[in-house]
Amino acid sequence: MEEALHDIPLYREFALLDSGMTRLPDESTILRFRHLLEAHELSAAMLAAVNEIL
């Protein structure tokens, strides 16, 4: 994901990281966020919400 954020402008725009950010999240930051989602059992609910919208 870190490489994709650097290489693909559309991903940065989608994640709202394009406007004025001097540093993009690195691998460890992304992983910590993922672990927080899993610890609070939010990842399944978020995926369900996104799938519903799509």
**pLDDT value of residue 16:** 85
**pLDDT value of residue 49:** 95
The domain segmentation of the chain, as residue ranges, is 2-53
pLDDT in tens, 4-20: 988 998 988 888 887 67
Contacts (Cβ under 8 Å, ≥6 apart) of 18: 9, 12
Place of tokens 């870190």: 2
pLDDT in tens, 19-49: 677 788 999 999 999 999 999 999 999 999 9
Query: Is 0.85 topped by the overall pTM?
Result: no
